[in-house]
Amino acid sequence: MIVTVLGLGYVGLTTAAGLAELGHYVVGVDIDNDKIEMLNRGDVPIWEPELAPLIAKNRQAQRLAFTTDVQKAASQSDVILVAVGTPAGPDGKPDLTQLERAVSDLTSCLPSDALLIIKSTVPVGTTDQIATRLRRDVVHNPEFLRQGSAVHDFFHPDRIVIGCGSEWAAERIRRLYQGITAPMIVSDRRSAEMIKYTANAFLAMKISYINMIADLCESLDANVEDVARGIGADHRIGHAFLQAGAGYGGSCFPKDTHALLYLGAQTGCSLPLVESADRINQLRPQRLVTKAEHALGTLRGKHISLLGLTYKPQTDDVRSAPSIAVSRLLLEQGANVHAYDPRARRFPIEQVEICPDVETAVHDADAVMILTEWDEFRHLDWRRLLPILRCPVIIDGRNLYRLEEMRKLGVAYPLRYLSVGRPEVN
Ligand code: NAD
């Protein structure tokens, strides 16, 4: 089939490359001219494992091309997928400006027999409205890929959700994803939109639940990792998303929980579980900064080194990452903040000094704070690093090290190790 993908961010670019690999002829469209120029030069504007070679392979096979010309691309397509951003507005209400522009750009050039698919996460009812406006069936096909393993997730999804109004549309989408083995869940459009928000809010709740329990573990001298292992072994609970830490971030969980709360408020339906998950998460950065205060007294004039700025490992994305809130709080308290991350793109706070490597970031530090569980941080040689710190304080916001390991290290080197939901090592 000939496919157009509108919006070449983490979702759109991965989807375009994945569909080309499945054998379709795909044109990726974005309004960002620089992005299209980069892609046409053979560069990839985002970093996502396995994505660059997949794009290169399919460009070479002439199954994948990029343009800013939506009219030309869409007018020749059998399927058009919209994967533009739907960021949260200030009150949590999703900002649909990008989607509205994409749909109006498409209005004049949609072939009558083409299938329009909305992949962006949108408030319940949005796809119905687009279908009414365009007077045709429009599918909502939410995306569940995870940044950091987006390519893998494209080819191995847990399920494909199809929210549509006709068997014709469902059939075409089955053809689109032919080659991928996954259960197809067909529903009406509104339920498909609801599935996406409900899934993300559930995962956010799981993270906040274990973080809440972590705080109680600290007060009661228990170890949250043992607790998580103990409850996760129950298959009704499962081990996933039970890692206590700095809290969730990224472009989806915070925005999608806020969108769900907004939808609840609009309809007069309170969502106290989601509200609590959000509140707990918003307090995580302060909790880590309080640990630093507890260890150092005042933070004024102190040099704090952040290891990890991205909201999770294996991505370059810092959108809504805990590192942003932590940096703000540290700067407010008068600390000097230095940071190192192996992949982060432009960090939004200028006062944070970005360092080229771990050694430079931690040199003369009063405390080191780990905020992202990058593999390279798991294997740091603390015997070499501790002597170059001014104060041997490690605040591990991701519980990267075993307590036993840190206790052993502490025998040879003076050390204070504060992690999340586990006893302090000193
Ligand atoms: P993104 O912000 O990385 O990319 C959006 C892209 O759309 C940008 O390149 C932008 O220039 C382009 N764009 C904006 N308006 C356009 C238009 N009118 N025509 C063509 N291109 C346009 O977004 P993302 O992270 O890929 O997310 C896209 C959607 O998928 C969002 O609704 C998001 O909630 C959802 N989603 C994201 C993830 C994720 O992990 N990032 C996972 C599942 C679902």
**Domain end among 132, 160, 187:** 187
pLDDT at 90 exceeding the cut of 90: no
Q: Are residues 182 and 209 in the same domain?
A: no
C-alpha span between 168 and 138 (Å, rounded):
11
Closest protein CA for atom 18 of ligand 1: 102
By the 10 Å C-beta count (0-12 exposed, 13-18 middle, 19+ buried), 14 is classed as: buried
Q: Are residues 289 and 398 in the same domain?
A: yes
Q: Are residues 247 and 373 in the same domain?
A: yes
Ligand 1 atom at shortest distance from the alpha carbon of 120: 32
pLDDT tens-digit map of 154-188: 999 999 999 998 999 999 999 999 999 999 999 99
Residue 72 lies in a domain: yes
**Ligand 1 interacting residues, C-beta cut-off 6 A:** 6-12, 29-32, 35, 83-86, 98, 101-102, 105, 120-121, 143, 145, 147, 251-252
pLDDT tens-digit map of 316-333: 999 999 999 999 999 999
Residue 336 lies in a domain: yes
Parent domain of 61: 2-187
Q: Taking all residues of the chain, what is their mean pLDDT, rounded to a whole number? A: 97
Test site for ligand 1: of 6, 8, 10, most ligand atoms within 8 A of the Cβ: 10
State residue 91's pLDDT score: 87
Catalytic residues: 252
pLDDT band at 34 (very low <50, low <70, confident <90, very high): very high
Ligand 1 atom at shortest distance from the alpha carbon of 98: 15
Q: Are residues 221 and 271 in the same domain?
A: yes
pLDDT tens-digit map of 197-213: 999 999 999 999 999 99
Q: Are residues 232 and 115 in the same domain?
A: no
Residue 197 lies in a domain: no
pLDDT tens-digit map of 395-417: 999 999 999 999 999 999 999 99
Residue 266 lies in a domain: yes
- CA 319 to centroid of ligand 1, rounded, Å: 13
Residue 193 lies in a domain: no
Residue 328 lies in a domain: yes
DSSP line for 199-245: HHHHHHHHHHHHHHHHHHHHHHT--HHHHHHHHHTSTTT-STT---S
Q: Are residues 220 and 173 in the same domain?
A: no
Cα R_g (the chain), whole angstroms: 23
Q: Are residues 214 and 254 in the same domain?
A: yes
Ligand 1 atom at shortest distance from the alpha carbon of 121: 32
Instruction: Give pTM, 2 decimals.
Output: 0.96
The angle at the Cα of 81, spanning 114 to 72, to the nearest 5 degrees, equals: 65
pLDDT above 70 covers a percentage of the chain that reads 100
What sign results for the dihedral spanned by CA atoms 374, 376, 379, 385? negative
Domain containing residue 30: CATH number: 3.40.50.720
Closest protein CA for atom 41 of ligand 1: 10
pLDDT tens-digit map of 281-319: 999 999 999 999 999 999 999 999 999 999 999 999 999
- State the total domains in the chain: 2
pLDDT tens-digit map of 182-195: 999 999 999 999 99
